[in-house]
Amino acid sequence: MTLFTPDRPLNLTRGGRLDLVEVRYETYGQLSPRRDNAVFICHALTGDAHAAGFQAGADKPGWWDNLIGPGRPLDTDRFFVVCPNILGGCQGTTGPGSLNPATGQAYGLDFPILDMADFVSVHRRLCEHLGLSRLLAVIGGSLGGMQALQWALSHPSDLANACVIAASSRLSAQNIAFSAVAREAIMRDPGFHQGQYNQFGDSPDLGLSIARMMAHITYLSEEALALKFDREPERDGLNHGFGVDFAVESYLHHQGEVFLDRFDALSYLYLSRVMDYFDPFASPQATAAIAAARPNLLVCSFTSDWRFGPQHSRRVVSHLERAGVPVTYRELASDFGHDSFLLPIPRYHDTLRAFLDRAWEVGS
Amino acid sequence: MRGAASSPPLRRDLALISSLIQPGSRVLDLGCGDGALLRHLMGRRGCTGSGVEIDPEAVLTAVRAGVPVIELDIDQDLDRFGDQSYDAVVLSRTLQAVRRPREVLLEMIRIAPRVIVSMPNFAYWRNRLRLLAGHAPVSKDLPHSWFDSPNVHFGSLDDLERLFADLELQVMRCLPLAASGRPSLWPSRTRNWVAGAALYELTAVLVSPPEVRGGGQ
């Protein structure tokens, strides 16, 4: 779906403009006649529009299928669920790998620098296109939670409820450091060609897979890796060499490998950089609008998450609570690290169900 | 509203607390349980506010009822609430179960100008009899056996009032409660014997009034 055109372009927060923005999105459930049952899903760094159900021929369902569907916390018998691919992404929505209409070549590093608010601008245009003037809820985990937070702060009257899960309002130096190494791995790959690798028929596969391998470690906890692999050898015994000898190594190689099929290195650079700069409470007026509109916020963190752990969520809660926003905070016990937000952890899903049942009862 | 369930009648002790809170106040309810008090205050008395609770099941019930609840530890995390950021802060029948009641009271008076606290009375006459008979007290206000009680401090109302005085907390109102949960009909000065619990409304002492020492001795 083309949402921005030269006569209604997307003006970006950090300057620059996109004359053409395509957005891929999926929907689940039925929009009610009163258009008051819409729930908007924002995906994380490497997610896509396919949040639930099975695509033709696929053996795995959408990335949040355990949450979305009949009888699930996001019950599609009641809610109309919308999930788009993010601006700057590479799975159907315009991003740095898309063709620049001005040059006929892929944008590469000519793609403008993005900001969390730009994601929200595109989401809001999609809502306008779908005739959704007010959302029952906006929900997201990780980068998705940051979009939900940005949306709730900048346009709080768009939504009655927002769920900010395993997210952050200000990356730590450690967070930025990990992102920096991932980007360096990509940009120093000889296949990167200053971002114009598409023109060279090349791609920085090595850098992107190393970025993914490292990021993947930060998505899991020490306990989760121990539970899954411990020190198991990959084959019959340990060979004491430099090859893939431990099962965890083979797992990471696999993760890095399959990532290449579905993700673009430039999208990785652009989207991860947005998170580094995200600092929505820095402005003294940050909570003025949300304090007036008072949507209900749910903030969740997971105990073993060391990417955006409880201290990140507590910061969000403190700012909202001090602004008088009705905010609920849960610190959920989980051994599975940052990726917990994708898992059907009973207490986590019970919390979302309770919050969404209440949202449904009260209406938008 | 799509068929919201009507709220059940408010527990007697919570109704008493509610009567001490000005309509329209911003209230922080520490140890809010399933959020019944806040739900009542928000729904019927035009209040806003937050609950604090650490029991995961209770938090879930509160969320379902639309009460904003922050899951944190009263003993450790009250410093994240701003100075005088609420009109009233409530701690109902929980002070005896926190590790550091003194620090919790000081945090409460920092957070709000009005502090509402209730606590069971370990020196209630039935409890004294149980002790004399050689057993740890079990009563309506202290319902747990010694081995599974969440209570870690066993103070009398006298003890509590001395702590208030030490912390320069002024007792604006004291409601001794009978074991039934109703306000006790006995003269207030007998409360350390006859009250199963008591509910206090406190404020910080601004000037040092000569004779205010909580009373009851």
Using one digit for the tens of pLDDT, what is the confidence trace for A213-251?
999 999 999 999 999 999 999 988 888 999 999 999 999
The answer to whether residue B159 sits within a structural domain is: yes
A338 annotated active-site: yes
Q: Which residues of B touch A303 (CB under 8 A)?
A: none
- A:19-78 residues touching chain B, CB 8 A cutoff: none
The answer to whether residue B28 sits within a structural domain is: yes
Please tell me if residue A361 touches chain B, with a CB cutoff of 8 Å: yes
The answer to whether residue B18 sits within a structural domain is: yes
Over residues B50-86, the pLDDT tens digits come to: 999 999 999 999 999 999 999 999 999 999 999 999 9
What does pLDDT average to over chain A? 96
Q: How many other CB atoms sit within 10 Å of the CB of residue B165? A: 16
Looking at domain A25-84+134-170+279-362, its CATH architecture is 3-Layer(aba) Sandwich (3.40)
CA distance A34 to chain B (A): 13
The share of chain B scoring above pLDDT 70, in percent, equals 92
> Which of the residues B42, B47, B50, B69 would you substitute to probe the A interface, choosing the one with the greatest number of A C-beta atoms within 10 Å?
B50
Helix or strand (DSSP H, E) at B192: helix B191-194
Where are the strands (E) in chain A, listed by range? 2-4, 10-11, 17-18, 21-22, 25-28, 38-42, 80-84, 137-141, 161-165, 296-302, 327-332
CA distance A246 to chain B (A): 38
The answer to whether residue B85 sits within a structural domain is: yes
Query: How many contacts, defined by CB atoms under 8 Å, are there between A and B?
Result: 65
CA distance A313 to chain B (A): 11
The answer to whether residue B113 sits within a structural domain is: yes
Q: What integer pLDDT is reported at residue B1 of this predicted model?
A: 64
The share of chain A scoring above pLDDT 70, in percent, equals 100
Q: What integer pLDDT is reported at residue B207 of this predicted model?
A: 56
Please tell me if residue B75 touches chain A, with a CB cutoff of 8 Å: no
Do residues B35 and A358 lie in contact, with contact meaning Cβ atoms separated by under 8 Å?
no
Please tell me if residue A355 touches chain B, with a CB cutoff of 8 Å: yes
Q: What single DSSP character describes residue A74?
A: B
Rounded to the nearest 10°, the torsion over CA A247, A253, A254, A256 is: 150
Q: What integer pLDDT is reported at residue B210 of this predicted model?
A: 54
Q: Could you tell me which of B160, B162, B167 has the C-alpha nearest to residue B203?
A: B167
CA distances from A265 to A14, A167, A199, A256, A290 (A): 21, 23, 14, 12, 35
pTM confidence score = 0.94
Q: Cα separation of A100 and A103, whole Å?
A: 6
Q: Which residues of B touch A292 (CB under 8 A)?
A: none
**Pick from B1, B48, B59: CB nearest A363:** B1
The reply to whether A25-84+134-170+279-362 and A175-274 are identical in fold is no
Q: Which of A98, A142, A203, A272 is catalytic?
A: A142
The number of distinct structural domains making up chain B is: 1
Q: Which residues of B touch A327 (CB under 8 A)?
A: 50, 68, 70
Checking if the pLDDT of A44 tops 70, the result is yes
pLDDT (mean) for B182-190: 92
**Pick from B2, B68, B70: CB nearest A361:** B2
**CATH number assigned to the domain covering A175-274:** 1.10.1740.110
Decide if B63 and A355 are in contact by the 8 Å CB cutoff: yes
Over residues B136-155, the pLDDT tens digits come to: 998 888 889 999 998 999 99
Decide if A329 and B81 are in contact by the 8 Å CB cutoff: no
How sure is the predictor about A286, in pLDDT bands with cuts at 50, 70 and 90? very high
Q: Which residues of A touch B112 (CB under 8 A)?
A: none
Over residues B191-211, the pLDDT tens digits come to: 999 999 999 999 997 655 555
The answer to whether residue B211 sits within a structural domain is: no
A123 annotated active-site: no
Please tell me if residue A322 touches chain B, with a CB cutoff of 8 Å: yes
pLDDT (mean) for A132-156: 98
Query: Residue B191's domain is classified under what CATH number?
Result: 3.40.50.150
Please tell me if residue A350 touches chain B, with a CB cutoff of 8 Å: yes
Classified as helix, coil or strand, B101 is helix
A305 annotated active-site: yes
The answer to whether residue B130 sits within a structural domain is: no
CA distance A318 to chain B (A): 7
All structural domains of chain A with their residue ranges: 25-84+134-170+279-362, 175-274
What does the block give as tokens for A310?
A: 């409880």
Decide if A351 and B81 are in contact by the 8 Å CB cutoff: no
Q: Which domain holds residue B44?
A: 12-121+155-204
How sure is the predictor about A74, in pLDDT bands with cuts at 50, 70 and 90? very high
Q: What integer pLDDT is reported at residue A364 of this predicted model?
A: 83
